[in-house]
Amino acid sequence: MSTSDSAPGLALPVSDPDLEQRLKSRLTLVEKALAGHVQSRAPFVTEAAGHLLEAGGKRFRPLLVLLAAECGDRADSDDVLTAACVVELTHLASLYHDDVMDEALVRRSADSANARWDNHIAILTGDFLFARSSELTAELGPEAVHIQAQTFARLVEGQIMETQAPLSGEDPVSHHLDVIAGKTGILIATSARYGALFGGAPKEVEEALTAYGDIVGAAFQISDDILDIASDGDVSGKTPGTDLREGVPTLPVLMARRAARPADARLIELLDSDLAASDEDLAEALALLRAHPAMDEARAYVLEEARRAKACLAPVPAGPVRDALEAFADVVATRTT
C-alpha cells in the first residue's frame, strides 16, 4: 500500500468511512484544544508557542491516540482527547529543542523558532510546552503522570545519546537504533498506550498497541533515513542528501561503514569529508550509496520491523482499527514520501 491510499486529511491509512469520519471529527476537537493550550498570559509567549503548531504537521501521534482508543468502550471520552493533546504538545516541545541542537533554520516549511527569534527563546518555549503537557497529564491521574515521566526520560536520553559517539567497542548501528527508539519510538508507543488506556481497551490490547507503536515508530524514522538517500526530490518532496550534507548518521550510512569493503574506499573518503562544502561530492556520495548493498540491508531491516509490528497486533480484534494499523506498517515499509 502507498501513502496515496490514506484517507484524505489523516496521517494513517483508514479505509472504513465511519471510522474515518469519527477520527476526523475528534481530531478537529484536538486541534481546537491545542490552540488553547499554547495560550499564555504573555502575548509573546503565545506567539512563540503557537509558531510550530500553526505551521502544521501530520498530527500522527494524537491520531494514533484516537485510533487506539477505538479498541475500547470509551473512545469518545474527554480523557482520550486530553491524552491526544499531551502527546502532541510533548512532540512539539521536543521539536523546539531539536532545532536548537541541530541549528536548524526551517521546520515545517517555516522559519524555526531559533531562526526567527534565538536559541534562548526556542529552548524556553519548548520548556513552556513541556510544562503545558505536564499540566494536562496531571488531569489524567497518577498512572498517566508515571507513564509521561518515563516517556520524557527516554526521549531526553535519546536526544543526549544522539550527541555522543558510540562507546568504545559499541556497534554504531546499535547505538543509532537506541537513539531512534528514544527520540521517536517511545512517544509513538505512549500515544498508542494512552489511547488504549483511556479508551478502556483490555490490558492485553493496551500492551499489544504499546509494543506496536514502539516498533513502527522507530521503523518510520529509519525509513526516513533511507529516503534521505534514495528519494527522488520531485516525487518525495524531500531534498536528497540532507542528512549527509549535515553529517547526521543514518542507518544506510552506518551499515555501509560497517561493511568496510575495499571497493568502498572512495565512499568512506567522501563520508569523512565536509559534504556541505561541495555539491559535486554530495552527488557522488549519494550515487555510491544508492548502489551500495547497505541500502538493501536497511530496507530489509525496515521490512522485518514492519512485520514484527504487525505481529504485535494479534490481540487486537479484527476490524477497521486493526486494518488501519496493519496498513500503516505496510506504508512504513514501502513509503516513498
* Regions of the chain short of the pLDDT cut 50: 1-8, 108, 234-237
Q: What are phi and psi of 106, to 5 degrees?
A: -130, 140
Kindly report, residue by residue over 270-289, the tens digit of the pLDDT.
Answer: 999 999 899 999 999 999 99
Three-state SS at 106: strand
* Phi and psi, residue 110, nearest 5°: -125, 165
The domain made up of 14-201 has a fold known as: Farnesyl Diphosphate Synthase (1.10.600)
Q: Which helix (H) or strand (E) holds 260?
A: none
What pLDDT score does 56 carry?
A: 67
Q: 206-337 belongs to which CATH class?
A: mainly alpha
Looking at residue 117, what is its pLDDT? 60
Count CB atoms within 10 A of the CB of residue 334: 15
Domains 14-201 and 206-337 share a fold: yes
Taking the model in full, what pTM does it have?
0.89
Q: Where are the domains of the chain?
A: 14-201, 206-337
127-159 residue pLDDT tens: 889 999 999 999 999 999 999 999 999 999 998
Q: What is the pLDDT of residue 115?
A: 61
pLDDT for the residue numbered 4: 36
Which residue type, as a one-letter code, is found at position 165?
A
